[in-house]
Amino acid sequence: MIRKLSLFILSTLFITAACTKEVPVSINKQQMAESVKTEFLHAWNGYKTYAWGYDELKPVSDTARNWYDVSLLMTPVDAYDTMILMGLNDEAEEAKDLILSELHFDHDMSVQNFEIVIRMLGGLLSAYQMDGDERFLELAKDLGDRLLPVFDSPTGLPYVNVNLQTGETSGIINNPAEIGTLILEFGTLSGLTGDPVYFEKADRAMKGIYERRSDIGLVGETINVETGEWVNTSSHISGRIDSYYEYLLKASELFGLEDYRMMYDESITAVNEYLLDETETGTWYGRADMYSGERTATTYGALDAFMPGMLVFGGELEIAKKVQEANYSMWTMEGIEPEGIDYSSMEITSPYYLLRPENIESAFYLYRATGDDRYLKMGKTMFESIVEYCKTESGFAELADVRTKEKNDGMQSFFLAETLKYSYLLFADESTLDLDTHVFNTEAHPLTNTWDQ
């Protein structure tokens, strides 16, 4: 009884905080869009000054880092279409010059397929579609060809890593997100080049995960790509599974595939039956065993916050609204969201903030769907807290702990590709990007079907 009363008081406090920490009712959207653009330029100019030609800026030490032995220009590739959407033509031109003069993939080094696909392949394909320069597509095709060996497993499920020069693969324990978050990029590459091999490989991998779902319709967290056996049977919507569901839905839209919509509908029905959790602290998605559906954990976090956006895309608006209220309470509990919480007690389990975009992304989709200013207010609060707590003299830094606001020396490329893009599009005129004709990959690179027209 005491615990129930405590949870009631706690949830009331969180709801009150979420409702009272409001910005003024009237929001000047144009002014906010310009503010986001200003902060993008701050981050980009910091990259130019201290990290030009490298993958990423380290915004506390004003130095640079590469992911691998040599730079793949992750920040310029990831940020390019954001610049186009913002109308930053001079910056886009200098990024383009750097990419087309310096980027190549003939390196004897092993890379993580998933991250390279969503950031590099997705970025190059979007750059080609938005700019039209054939050299972007040539780079994308060269990269796609070098990544294809990941699919050469006995099951067709991709390995984790591949050497860009030799094609040697490694990493037999993979997950649904890294296996399923390939179809948009590889399918687009097939559409633009006329070569079906890219789509066919990614399609087999996606369906390989779907066909191995449990009898109750859930997938697990990790799987052996050589045997097809599940290794970790925990089911959830967080990292390692999240964008698998996203790509089932978005592939049905981008490619007009009815079977993908069917796979999504069956999957989301199971997710909502076994993972959706209506509690005294809000509406969340927890964790359950993929075979029994039994609840195993009440953890939720920054990566899970993409869910309302996907639900909007899939037509489940009312659930999306409720989950976004929970998302916002997670963000405002310490002024900026932690990586993870236990939603049953609202205790922080992972205190860092990595400049993630998913909460703002969901506010963007909900505003586009409803026109409700509440989502503008959410976005304004979230964007301004990033500026308040994460801004440095050269860029924006991750937080080691949202409670103390101590900074880490990192600014991943997705901050420019996703976090600032969704922030800008939330406030920009809707004609800036038509969601009826464009689909975002999970790194927020807009893709459009031009080959079936």
DSSP per position, 420-431 = HHHHHHHHS-GG
**Domains defined along the chain, listed by start:** 17-72+298-447 (1.50.10.10)
If DSSP codes are grouped into helix, strand and coil, which group holds residue 450? coil
CB 199 within 8 A of CB 190: yes
Which is it for strands 299-301 and 282-285: parallel, antiparallel or unpaired?
Answer: unpaired
Length of the chain: 453
The residue among 293, 118, 163 whose CA lies nearest residue 220 is: 293
Can you say how many angstroms the Cα of residue 318 is from the centroid of all Cα atoms in its chain? 22
β-strands 399-401, 295-297 pairing: unpaired
Tokens coding 16: 């009150």
Per-residue pLDDT of the chain (453 residues; tens, 9 = 90+): 444 444 444 454 454 444 444 444 589 999 999 999 999 999 999 999 999 999 999 999 999 999 999 999 999 999 999 999 999 999 999 999 999 999 999 999 999 999 999 999 999 999 999 999 999 999 999 999 999 999 999 999 999 999 999 999 999 999 999 999 999 999 999 999 999 999 999 999 999 999 999 999 999 999 999 999 999 999 999 999 999 999 999 999 999 999 999 999 999 999 999 999 999 999 999 999 999 999 999 999 999 999 999 999 999 999 999 999 999 999 999 999 999 999 999 999 999 999 999 999 999 999 999 999 999 999 999 999 999 999 999 999 999 999 999 999 999 999 999 999 999 999 999 999 999 999 999 999 999 999 997
Write the CA distances from 137 to 62, 122, 133, 193, integer angstroms. Answer: 33, 11, 8, 8
**Strands 287-289, 295-297: parallel, antiparallel or unpaired by DSSP?**
antiparallel
What is the secondary structure of 231-259 as a DSSP string? Answer: EE-EE-SSTTTHHHHHHHHHHHHHH--HH
User: What amino acid positions are annotated as catalytic residues?
Assistant: 115, 242, 339, 358
Burial class from Cβ neighbours inside 10 Å (0-12, 13-18, 19+) for residue 364 reads buried
User: What span, in angstroms and rounded, lies between the C-alpha atoms of 348 and 270?
Assistant: 28
Q: Token digits for 117?
A: 């696909």
Angle between helices 420-427 and 358-370 in degrees, nearest 10: 20
Residue type at 316?
A: E
